[in-house]
């Protein structure tokens, strides 16, 4: 009796193990037509032949504000970020010494004016007496010379007064244009010279991208070639064209400077680092959906459905990718137009697995 039980138990155990093995497998892989997947045919589109570089935005309408006189800053009328109009006072440099100089020159001018008035009266008296023969011709000539000298002295002093008054006006620093005040590195009490940067005033718009292009690609630079400022996702922030290409190579970085005017539309600011895309030309090339691409150990792969012995099987392809074109990758190598790219169900695939198109 025990022998019969053992003979019955062994087949039952085998059936149980077989059932457990079947349950552990992917049920989709057991279908008669292979793993169900969605397939899209790689299509040809017009794509840019381009490279991306880092660029610095600089204002074409930025004024560096430096004083025209030396002295201590006594007042700062604005704050960084303020919008100012032409002629708006920005800072005051202590004018006390210069004001004393102007006052002294004005006093000298008053004295010279009095001397001129006396010389004029004296000349009138001598001229009258000379006409009656009381004064000689020599006395008349001396009086005329004294009058001319007094007039010259007054003109000289007046010129000095005007010069000192202009210098006095320089102690109040005003905005040379309408714009936005930049950083203010000086503080009240600081002593400044004519080489001290007080602040900057940037007029809205008028930005320029300074692009450093490796010398190996510099031969392809040309005026008018398209330039696109892009964000981290590849979205275009601004379109422009090259307006300047330096004839020289920077000996420190071995790059060539190129410039393009940029209208930021409020999204871009002076001194901002941005990514720019230089478009060397356009070409026809295949694209694949981003969902079809996987990254393994820093390399990109996609599965392609290929016909083998009357069935479709998945074959893994190593890809060389270019820029994104919407939701697709531009393929430089690995896939050609017309290839059937698998875009779903790739988690169940390995090279050589049968597949079945769905949807």
**Range 49-63 average pLDDT:** 88
The model's pLDDT over 143-193, given as tens digits with 9 standing for 90+, comes to 999 999 999 999 999 999 999 999 999 999 999 988 889 899 999 999 999
pLDDT recorded at residue 202: 84
Say yes or no: 277 and 288 in one domain. Answer: no
- DSSP type of residue 218: G
Residues 215-245: tens digit of each pLDDT: 999 999 999 999 999 888 778 889 999 999 9
- For 304-329, the pLDDT digits (tens) are 999 888 889 999 999 998 777 778 88
Residue 12 falls inside a structural domain:
no
pLDDT at 299 over 80: yes
Q: Considering the domain boundaries, does residue 188 fall inside one? A: yes
Cβ atoms of 27 and 346 within 8 Å: the answer is no
Say whether pLDDT at 291 is over 70: yes
Angle made by CA atoms 338, 344, 348, in degrees to the nearest 5: 115
Residue 251 backbone dihedrals phi, psi, to 5 degrees: -70, -15
Answering whether pTM is above 0.85, one says: no
Q: What is the mean pLDDT of the chain?
A: 85
Residue 56 lies in a domain: yes
Q: Examine the domain organization and report whether 236 and 215 are in the same domain.
A: yes
In this prediction, residues 116-137 reach a mean pLDDT of 89
d(CA 283, CA 39): 25
**pLDDT for res 62:** 83
Does the pLDDT of residue 26 top 60, yes or no? no
pLDDT of residue 330: 85
Question: DSSP secondary-structure letter at 244?
Answer: E
The two tokens of residue 285 are 């090339």
Residue 277 and residue 210 share a domain: yes
Could you tell me if 226 and 259 lie in one domain?
yes
Query: Which tens digits make up the pLDDT trace of 70-115?
Result: 999 999 999 998 999 999 999 999 999 999 999 999 999 999 999 9
Beta-bridged to residue 236, according to DSSP, are: 230
Domain of 226, CATH number, reads 2.40.30.170
Number of domains in the chain: 4
What is the extent of the structural domain holding 110? 96-169
Residue 290 has pLDDT above 60, yes or no: yes
pLDDT for 132-154, tens place per residue? 888 888 988 999 999 999 999 99
Instruction: Examine the domain organization and report whether 83 and 180 are in the same domain.
Output: yes
CA distance 304 to 39: 8
Q: How far apart are alpha carbons 203 and 199 in whole angstroms?
A: 13
Domain containing 333 — which CATH number? 2.40.420.20
What CATH number does the domain containing 121 carry? 1.10.287
Q: What is the DSSP string of 72-105?
A: EEEEE---TT-EE-TT-EEEEE--HHHHHHHHHH
From residue 310, alpha-carbon distances to 27, 66, 330 in Å are 23, 81, 31
**Domain endpoint, select from 236, 265, 282:** 282
5 domain residue, yes or no: no
CA neighbor of 201 nearest in space, from 297, 353, 68, 63: 63
pLDDT at 5 over 80: no
Tell me if residue 122 falls in helix, strand or coil: helix
Both tokens of residue 135?
A: 């004064």
Q: Domain boundary at 282, 314, 333, which?
A: 282
Any idea what the Cα angle at residue 323 is, between residues 319 and 326, rounded to 5°? Answer: 110
């Amino acid at each position: 009796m025990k022998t019969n039980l053992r003979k019955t138990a062994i087949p039952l155990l085998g059936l149980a193990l077989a059932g457990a093995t079947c349950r552990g497998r992917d049920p989709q892989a057991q279908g008669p037509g292979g793993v169900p997947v969605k397939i899209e045919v790689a299509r040809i589109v017009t794509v840019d032949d381009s490279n991306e570089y880092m660029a610095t935005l600089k204002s074409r309408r930025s004024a560096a504000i430096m004083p025209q006189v030396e002295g201590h800053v006594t007042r700062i009328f604005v704050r960084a970020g303020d919008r100012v109009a032409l002629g708006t006072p920005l800072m005051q440099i202590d004018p006390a010494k210069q004001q004393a100089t102007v006052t002294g020159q004005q006093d000298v001018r008053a004295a010279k004016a009095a001397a001129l008035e006396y010389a004029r009266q004296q000349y009138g008296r001598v001229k009258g007496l000379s006409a009656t023969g009381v004064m000689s011709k020599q006395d008349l000539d001396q009086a005329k010379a004294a009058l001319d000298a007094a007039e010259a002295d007054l003109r000289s002093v007046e010129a000095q007064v005007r010069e000192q008054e202009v210098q006095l006006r320089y102690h109040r620093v005003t905005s040379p244009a309408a714009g936005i005040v930049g950083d203010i590195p000086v503080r009240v009490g600081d002593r400044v010279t004519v080489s001290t940067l007080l602040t900057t005033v940037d007029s809205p718009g008028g930005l320029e991208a300074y692009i450093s292009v490796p010398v190996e690609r510099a031969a392809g630079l040309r005026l008018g070639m398209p330039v696109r400022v892009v964000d981290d996702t590849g979205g275009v922030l601004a379109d422009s064209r090259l307006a300047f290409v330096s004839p020289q190579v920077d000996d420190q970085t071995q790059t060539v400077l190129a410039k393009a005017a940029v209208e930021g539309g409020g999204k871009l600011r002076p001194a901002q680092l941005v990514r720019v895309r230089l478009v060397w030309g356009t070409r026809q090339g295949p694209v694949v959906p981003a969902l079809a691409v996987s990254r393994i150990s820093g390399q990109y792969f996609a599965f392609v459905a290929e016909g083998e012995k009357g069935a479709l099987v998945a074959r893994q392809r190593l890809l060389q990718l270019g820029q994104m074109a919407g939701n697709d990758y531009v393929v430089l190598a690995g896939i050609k137009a017309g290839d059937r790219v698998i875009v779903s169900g790739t988690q169940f695939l390995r090279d050589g697995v049968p597949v079945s198109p769905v949807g």
